[in-house]
């Protein structure tokens, strides 16, 4: 029997001292009850440090942190498995085995992801050597994140050398639908290699990345026998019967032809003294669908605000669906006492908008202020008229109102040290239906990667938890209320159709002709793709927001602003 502790922690990028303290707290808590304690990928530095990895002083501090753990391990019984940057002539994304004052092994990640939000080849060199140990007589192998995505890679070699347990440490970012896929292929690795696989993920968030936790262990039959909590820290110890692997391999000889036998004589042996207790595995529930998405948004918002040293936020409320959902997210993330909603009417604002914004604030229990912008707007118009003469009312006058509102929010931000929360969603950002330096502006955008149709789904879900958004918000046509009788559909296709086109183009990478071939009107597709193209310069200046789809605007989307390639 082997006791393994999966420490699904939430490190902070650059807080090396704080991360080490968190690791030591876990180790002291489980000392004497487990043979091995496993921490996530780059747990020492936090994921992802980006260009901090190009600073030698940062790498030296990571090395010192490993040294501190090595010293502390003299007073601890378990084998420690921890991820950290490792600089040894070149820089590697590595995993350290530490026990009783010694570094017992170092494994460096073989497969470096360089797609989507990942730039690991910019910072790291690939490892070449496998790492397999004998831990109290059981063969345990190690890999890091992307390594396990390759079916004939590291895990296969480890199994052929006799590994009964493979420990894979991760900082795997969330997006909708990814967890189910991860479960399926890790199950396949365990079944194909007739071994246990312990998949440890990080919790928390860093900037646009959310780490959903949900670490799990799969047995040799492909069954999930343990799952940690979703989207939060969780330290759990599980007792594994690794003799089950030997029994399975006696009757399932698929690994024999690969030369499994006789490969373990020179493997380093590590003995951990007898531990107390056996621990039955738990399988925590895994949220799905809209619940999962909402939890990811709340987690990402909370982490971004608090890790940047803020405690309170301010959000502009209009009585519309986007600002209502945004207010719910930040309230659930930070607590009602830390959220202020500001309603800023102009001559075009409806009485219904005010009533719905006030009712929402009352239901949530957040602070609520009304600051009219009409006199400020009028002073702008008077000044322009004096200098430029009479000009017709157009988009410039509409956007001026949005920018006045942004000025008010940022004044309050500067005055009270509140973070401004933007309310724009992915559909609006995609086609530029958001005002740069206006409603698009903010320090953080929870809905940045959420389509408009999903905004309604999320708002309905939040009301199922407790009705806070007035029903009228769901019924009235979306409107910026910047001119009389304005609705979004005056210039945009219906949102279900718009979102369908956007998903085809952004996430599936379909061309203009391919989208039209799906039965969508040619002129509508052309109009939408032109709007996407024209809005690129805006998106480049947008605030950071949470990635929840396979392809988000941000690191995930790197289209040139100057671009004459036909869409």
Percent of the chain with pLDDT over 90: 88
Closest CA to 313 of 458, 466, 440, 446: 446
**CATH code of 472's domain:** 3.40.50.620
Average pLDDT over residues 401-411: 96
Residues 146 and 11 in one domain: yes
User: What is d(CA 302, CA 261) in angstroms, rounded to the nearest whole number?
Assistant: 50
pLDDT digits (tens, 9 = 90+) for 60-71: 999 999 999 999
Residues 188 and 328 in one domain: no
pLDDT digits (tens, 9 = 90+) for 72-100: 999 999 999 999 999 999 999 999 999 99
Residues 347 and 230 in one domain: no
pLDDT digits (tens, 9 = 90+) for 107-149: 999 999 999 999 999 999 999 999 999 999 999 999 999 999 9
Per-residue pLDDT at 254 exceeds 90: no
Q: What is the DSSP letter of 470?
A: -
Catalytic-role residue among 22, 41, 448, 481: 41
User: What is d(CA 180, CA 81) in angstroms, rounded to the nearest whole number?
Assistant: 26
Residue 313 domain-assigned (yes or no): yes
Residue 561 domain-assigned (yes or no): no
Residues 75 and 172 in one domain: yes
431's torsion region: left (phi>0), alpha (psi -120 to 50) or beta? alpha
Residue 523 domain-assigned (yes or no): no
Predicted pLDDT of residue 477: 80
Q: Quote the number of domains for the chain.
A: 2
Residues 369 and 262 in one domain: no
pTM above 0.85, yes or no: yes
Q: Is 195 a catalytic residue?
A: no
Residues 254 and 132 in one domain: yes
pLDDT digits (tens, 9 = 90+) for 430-464: 999 999 999 999 999 999 999 999 999 999 999 99
Per-residue pLDDT at 491 exceeds 90: no
Closest CA to 63 of 18, 107, 22, 96: 96
Lowest mean pLDDT among 256-265, 292-301, 536-545: 256-265
Residue 284 domain-assigned (yes or no): no
Residues 215 and 173 in one domain: yes
Q: Which domain holds residue 259?
A: 2-270
pLDDT digits (tens, 9 = 90+) for 410-427: 999 999 999 999 999 999
Structure confidence at residue 268 as a pLDDT band (50, 70, 90): confident
Residue 429 domain-assigned (yes or no): yes
Residues 265 and 336 in one domain: no
Predicted pLDDT of residue 273: 87
Residues 339 and 239 in one domain: no
Q: Is 547 a catalytic residue?
A: no
- C-alpha distance from residue 158 to each of 155, 248, 250 (Å): 5, 17, 18
* pLDDT mean across residues, the chain: 94
Lowest mean pLDDT among 46-50, 66-70, 91-95, 472-476: 472-476
Tokens representing 485 are 């009788």
Indicate the residue among 442, 460, 488 that finishes a domain.
488
Catalytic-role residue among 22, 104, 109, 448: 109
Residues 233 and 303 in one domain: no
Q: Is 246 a catalytic residue?
A: no
**CATH code of 216's domain:** 3.60.110.10
Catalytic-role residue among 22, 104, 120, 145: 145
Residues 296 and 213 in one domain: no
């Amino acid at each position: 029997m082997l006791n393994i502790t999966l420490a699904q922690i939430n490190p902070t990028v650059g807080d090396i001292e704080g991360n080490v303290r968190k690791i030591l707290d876990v180790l002291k808590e489980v000392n004497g009850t487990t043979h091995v304690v496993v921490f996530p990928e780059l747990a020492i530095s936090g994921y992802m440090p980006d260009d901090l990895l190009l600073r030698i002083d940062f790498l030296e501090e990571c090395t010192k942190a490993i040294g501190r753990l090595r010293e502390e391990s003299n007073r601890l019984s378990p084998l420690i498995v921890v991820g950290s940057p490792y600089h040894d002539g070149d820089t590697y994304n590595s995993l350290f085995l530490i026990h009783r004052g010694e570094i017992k092994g170092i494994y460096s990640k073989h497969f470096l992801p360089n797609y989507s939000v990942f730039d690991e080849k910019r910072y790291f060199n690939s490892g070449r050597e496998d790492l397999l140990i004998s831990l109290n007589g059981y063969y345990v192998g190690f890999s890091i994140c992307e390594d396990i995505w390759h079916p004939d890679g590291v895990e296969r070699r480890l199994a052929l050398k006799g590994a009964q347990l493979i420990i894979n440490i991760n900082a795997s970012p969330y997006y909708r639908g990814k967890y189910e896929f991860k479960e399926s292929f890790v199950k396949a690795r365990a079944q194909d290699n007739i071994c246990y696989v312990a998949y440890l993920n990080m919790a928390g968030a860093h900037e646009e990345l959310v780490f959903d936790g949900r670490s799990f262990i799969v047995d040799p039959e492909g069954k999930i026998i343990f799952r940690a909590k979703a989207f939060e820290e969780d330290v759990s110890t599980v007792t594994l019967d690794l003799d089950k692997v030997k029994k399975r391999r006696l009757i399932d000889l698929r690994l024999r032809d690969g030369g499994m036998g006789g490969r373990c004589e020179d493997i380093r042996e590590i003995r951990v003294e007898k531990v107390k207790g056996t621990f039955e595995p738990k399988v925590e529930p895994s949220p799905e669908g809209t619940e999962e998405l909402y939890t990811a948004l709340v987690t990402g918002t909370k982490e971004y605000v608090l890790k940047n040293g803020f405690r309170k936020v301010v959000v502009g409320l209009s009585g519309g669906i986007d600002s209502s959902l945004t207010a719910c997210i930040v309230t659930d993330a930070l607590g009602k006492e830390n959220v202020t909603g500001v309603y800023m009417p102009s001559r075009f604002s409806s009485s219904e908008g005010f009533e719905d914004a006030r009712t929402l604030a009352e239901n949530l229990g957040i602070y609520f202020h009304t600051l009219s912008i009409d006199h400020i707007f009028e002073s702008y118009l008077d000044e322009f008229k004096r200098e430029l003469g009479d000009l017709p009312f157009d988009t410039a006058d509409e956007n001026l109102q949005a920018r006045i509102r942004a000025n008010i929010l940022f004044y309050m931000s500067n005055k009270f040290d509140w973070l401004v929360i933007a309310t724009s969603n992915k559909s609006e950002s995609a086609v530029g239906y958001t005002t740069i330096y206006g409603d698009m502006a903010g320090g953080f955008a929870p809905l940045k990667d959420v389509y408009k149709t999903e905004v309604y789904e999320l708002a309905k879900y939040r009301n199922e938890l407790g009705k806070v958004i007035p029903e009228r918000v769901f019924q009235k046509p979306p409107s910026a209320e910047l001119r009389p009788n304005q609705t979004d559909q005056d210039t945009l296709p219906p949102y279900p159709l718009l979102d369908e086109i956007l998903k085809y183009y952004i996430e599936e990478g379909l061309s203009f002709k391919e989208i039209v071939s799906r039965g969508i009107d040619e002129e509508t597709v052309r109009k939408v793709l032109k709007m996407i193209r024209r809005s690129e310069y805006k998106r480049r200046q947008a605030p950071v927001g949470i990635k929840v789809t396979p392809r988000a605007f941000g690191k995930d989307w790197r289209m040139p602003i100057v671009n004459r390639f036909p869409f």
